[in-house]
A and B are shown apart, each in its own frame.
Chain A
Amino acid sequence: QSALTQPASVSGSPGQSITISCTGPTTDVTAYNFVSWYQQHPGKAPKLVMFDVSRRPSGVSNRFSGHKSGDMASLTISGLRSEDEADYYCSAYRSSGTLVLFGGGTKVTVL
């Protein structure tokens, strides 16, 4: 069982917006602004698409945005495209113990 909780799947039609949630124990998500998100296509290594909650790496589309409210972080993909179909993982940094926790992953399907 993963320490961070994500929905198993989210789907949307091309052009729509979808949001993937990520929740966890208070000290992991709410206490710090160190939540990151990864996109993983089948057979490929994960790729960083968001870090420090809402910062986008160079080269990542501005259709991706990150947010945190209370004990929930979220990744929104707007203007959904076929190439966005992938697994997405959230991650949170902690100050002690298991320093990095991952969510169980969300499969995004473009209908």
Chain B
Amino acid sequence: QVQLEESGPGLVKPSDTLSLTCTVSGASVNIDDYYWAWIRQPPGKGLEWIAYIHFGGTPNYNPALRGRLATSVDASKNQFSLNLTAVTAADTAIYYCARGRIAATSRGWFDPWGQGTLVTVSS
């Protein structure tokens, strides 16, 4: 059974960098069939896709956040990470990591998800 768990600070100051890590259990992060994803949800609002990451390829980022994003995969720790720079209050959200699928005949879905971690941007 694949499980994901987000970790990182719950409070980040404006203009600082938000750094989160997702630890995967029950599956290896360095497999071809799946991507790893970050998705966020501002409190009381809808979902927003942030990034797709694959251990062996170039990450795909939401154009609205590109330029502020950096991601990585650490196969030795079975983790993947997200860095979002120059944060503002608009980046306050629950951040989820998830396993994603991009294949010829099946793509764009996320399963399973981590439980999410609330990151608040405030001084």
Q: Which residues on A are within 8 Å of B, measured CB to CB?
A: 2, 34-36, 38, 44-48, 51-52, 55, 57, 89, 91-93, 97-105
Contacts and interface: CB of A to CB of B under 8 A. Distances in A.
**Interface SS of chain B:** strand
Contact of B47 (A34, A46, A55, A57): A46
B80 interface: no
Most chain A Cβ neighbours within 10 Å, of B48, B63, B64, B107: B107
Nearest to A49: B111
B109 A98 contact: no
A55 B106 CA distance: 10
A51 B113 contact: no
Interface residues of B, number: 24
Given A36-B109, A89-B47, A105-B46, 6 more contacts: A34-B107, A47-B111, A91-B47, A93-B107, A102-B49, A105-B47
Secondary structure at the A interface, as helix, strand, loop or mixed, is strand
B83 interface: no
B96 interface: yes
Contacts of B105: 52
Contacts of B52: 99-100
Contact of B49 (A34, A35, A48, A98): A98
A102 B108 contact: no
Q: Which of A46, A51, A89, A101 gathers the greatest number of chain B CB atoms within 10 Å?
A: A46
6 contacts: A34-B108, A46-B113, A51-B106, A93-B108, A105-B46, A105-B47
B108 A99 contact: yes
